[in-house]
Amino acid sequence: MSLLLAVSLPLLASDHVDSPNNAEDRGADLGDGYAFLDPNDNSRLIMILTFSGFITPGENANLAVFSDTVRFNFEVENTGDAVPDKFIRVTFSPKTGPTAQQTATIQLPDGTSFTALTTPPSNTAEVAPTAVVTTDPVSGVSFFAGLTDDPFFFDIPAFGRFVASIVAGAPDGSVLQRGRDSFAGYNVLAIALSVPTASLLGTNGTIIGTSQSSQRRVLQVIDARGNVSGSGRWVNTDRQGLPAINTALIPFGRKKEYNHATPADDAAGKFAGDIVASLQSLGTNETNIGILAGLAVAKGDILRVDTSIANNGPGGGNNAGAGFPNGRRPADDVIDTILFFVANQNTLGDSVNGNDVPFRDTFPFLGASHQPLPPGAPGTNQN
């Protein structure tokens, strides 16, 4: 049990770099997924995925690349099982210059599509570029893709030290009181959608389930000029639904397998034993194992939103009762919520209770990207 804990749990970082494959493939490495009602218009569902994290402002132009060989999927489950029923798929044109915009093609569930430009990055401007938002006049779907502040907030080393104290047989919650956000000052690539909720509802009443995946073609070819192309079927490179499942609860040796699996595999119990064993090694009791495993196993690793629960407030919403695990809003402190159940419903937080920059109050809601600071301004090595 201790070995499983030591290799699996200190890596907790929502979904950032959750397997060896993803550490080698930044362009497809998912970070976090969000789903929530637009607090300005509850008839619209916001879905966001982030990927390619830990971008420093000085590398904004070099690393803000939406890979033209990756397909990003927003998966919608609306019948109450573990099988997605609708898909929104996003692909990108090649990047042609350091600050050049790329063209995104957004394929909607009905088979129609529209195109949109990404927000251009800059690693010289002191003010972040204005977010480019495109709204399809036919479907009413709004789209954003660009560099943003990484919205995840969590103290990775503190949690690693806490796990080490458990392994040593002397759990020490005081090590979680550092209060340092491991993601502060870093940027991430993000894709955001604002979709009329009515177009996503199905036979599961007001409940909409969402998950995301990044995929590459099964065969990748590099030509003499270094161009990469793919052929054959699409296969998962990464996937995510609920925060921290693969990163925290799947043992190292099965992380790649988990990313290549499906929510239906989850519901069939393919990884149930690993999830239970990880929770047991943390001292989580059967009642709370049932709660956590029920979220991630019973109907697959899917984030579900009850659209009958109103969402309101700044930064994507902050009213009580409308946040995680009922979907996930940018400001929701998902780690503290998960740790609450891991610790058998005793308060156990990481002392990082909010993001390092404000979230936007309108779509795409994520905070503006960090930019290099002007000469002489105090800051960190990141900017």
What would the pLDDT profile of 173-185 be if each residue is shown by its tens digit?
Answer: 888 888 899 999 9
Please write the tens of the pLDDT for every residue from 247-288. Answer: 888 888 999 999 999 999 999 999 999 999 988 888 899 999
pLDDT of residue 220: 82
What is the pLDDT at residue 60?
95
Band (pLDDT 50/70/90 cuts) for residue 295 is: confident
Q: What is the pLDDT of residues 132-164, one digit of tens each?
A: 999 999 999 999 999 999 999 999 888 888 888
Q: Which residues are within 8 A (CB) of 317 and not within 5 positions of it... i.e. 6 or more apart?
A: 36, 37, 39, 311, 323, 329, 331
Query: So what's the pLDDT on residue 297?
Result: 87
What whole-number distance in Å separates Cα of residue 279 and Cα of residue 281?
5
Whether 86 shows a pLDDT value over 80: the answer reads yes
Specify the amino acid at residue 44.
R
Q: How far apart are CA 101 and CA 206, in angstroms?
A: 37
Q: For residue 137, how many other CB atoms are within 10 A of its CB? A: 7
pLDDT for 383? 67
Q: Is 162 exposed, middle or buried (0-12, 13-18, 19+ CB in 10 A)?
A: buried
Q: What percent of the chain has pLDDT over 70?
A: 92
Span 114-137, mean pLDDT?
Answer: 95
The average pLDDT across 219-239 equals 87
Cβ of 375: how many Cβ atoms within 10 Å? 5
Secondary structure of the chain in HEC code, one letter for each residue: CHHHHHHHHHHCCCCCCCCHHHHCCHHHCEEEEEEEEECCEEEEEEEEEEEEEEECHHHHHHHCCCCCCCEEEEEEECCCCCCCCEEEEEEECCCCCCCCCCEEEEECCCCCEEEEECCCCCCCCCCCCCCCEEECCCCCCEEEEEEEECCCCCCHHHHHHHHHHHHCCCCCHHHHHCCCCCCCCCEEEEEEEEEEHHHCCCCCCCEEEEEEEEEEEEEEEECCCCCEEEEEEEEEEEEECCCCHHHHHCCHHHHHHHHHCCHHHHHCCCCHHHHHHHHHHCCCCHHHHHHHHHHHHHCCCCEEEECCCCCCCCCCCCCCCCCCCCCECCCCCHHHHHHHHHCCCCCCCCCCCCCCCCCCCCCCCCCECCCCCCCCCCCCCCC
**Residue 289 above 80 pLDDT?**
yes
> How are beta strands 103-107 and 30-38 bridged, if at all?
unpaired
Looking at residue 261, what is its pLDDT? 94
Q: Could you read off the pLDDT of 40-76 as tens digits, one per residue?
A: 999 999 999 999 999 999 999 999 999 999 999 999 9
Asked if the model's pLDDT at residue 347 lies above 90, the reply is no
Q: 342: pLDDT confidence band, cut at 50, 70 and 90?
A: confident
8 A C-beta contact, residue 150 and residue 120: no
pLDDT value of residue 378: 75
pLDDT of residue 334: 93
Model pLDDT, residue 213? 96
Say if residue 209's pLDDT is above 80: yes
| Predicted local confidence at residue 319, as pLDDT | 97
Can you tell me the mean pLDDT for 102-111?
A: 98
Check whether 6 has a pLDDT greater than 70: no
Q: What pLDDT score was predicted for residue 381?
A: 62
Burial letters 115-133, b for 16+ CB under 10 A, else e: ebbbbbbbbeeeebbebbb
Q: What is the mean pLDDT of residues 316-325?
A: 96
pLDDT over threshold 60, residue 93: yes
Q: To the nearest whole percent, how much of the chain has pLDDT over 90?
A: 67
Q: Under a CB-based contact definition with an 8 Å cutoff, are residues 144 and 113 in contact?
A: no
With cut-offs at 50, 70 and 90, classify the pLDDT of residue 13: very low
Indicate the pLDDT class of residue 20, thresholds 50, 70 and 90.
Answer: low
Task: Give the pLDDT score at 22.
Answer: 59
Q: What's the confidence (pLDDT) of residue 4?
A: 30
Q: Quick check: 77 pLDDT over 90?
A: yes
Rounded distance between C-alpha atoms, residue 90 and residue 359, angstroms: 24
pLDDT mean across residues, the chain: 90
- Interatomic CA distance for residues 176 and 179, integer angstroms: 7
